[in-house]
Amino acid sequence: MGRRKLKEYPELSGVIEDVLKDNAGDMHDEIELGYFLDVEYQKGENAPGFIPFTDGGWNATAFIPLSFITFTGLYPSSTRADEAIERMEEFNREVARERFMEENPDIVDIVGEDNIGYHRLMDLGYEKYAKELDMYVDEYFTEDSIMYQLGIWFYDIENRENEYYGEYHSVWVYGLINWESPYHRAGRDNEWVAPSSDLLPIYDEYWDDLSRFESVLSRKVREILDEF
């Protein structure tokens, strides 16, 4: 029969899509289906010089503005992702502060660089300048985003990368948080991947009743989401 893509199993593909749509909103409390969240099919097609390991799949991606995370306090549970986001916040505050000082040299001369901060300016009675500085901070925080992604990749029974090669089709569930804004390029320094398990086999009996596989897959997805 040969190796086949997930799109050639439309009922299975539909189950995977539904599981993602039902659960992906829980990656972050600020995700609203249809606004932040984009659920799309991944082809896994051949390309010159590139041999895909998978046979297609679905992923759900959400880009959460840094401002939402900062001002709601809804940080990831991952310490590594949390620390990276805090570094982003500190960098943006410093960039906003430098911009403010370049555009307002007179107030810098009056209060001194050490007092260029929202609270210090308010304490000194310079409310107008404090709000201007805060506006710059908000601007930079809104421009940056954190990418949340949940995905389910399919491995055909004839795919030699499949742990169950020659026995069963399988899927792999993953979740990640990427803070390399604005491009969100992959890389160990740019993202955190939720601890995942081995491939999940699609046993023969599941094909007779895909709702059984849907229940198993949903439980696995919830395990990944618990790591967020």
pLDDT value of residue 48: 45
47 confidence band (pLDDT: 50, 70, 90): very low
Tell me the pTM: 0.83
Residue spans of the domains in the chain: they are: 6-68+145-225, 77-143
Q: Which tens digit of pLDDT belongs to each residue from 185-224? A: 888 888 998 877 689 999 999 999 999 999 999 999 999 9
Is 58 in contact with 152 (CB distance < 8 Å)? yes
pLDDT, average across residues 148-173: 94
As a whole-number percent, the residues of the chain with pLDDT over 90 amount to: 63
Tokens 């398990």 correspond to: 197
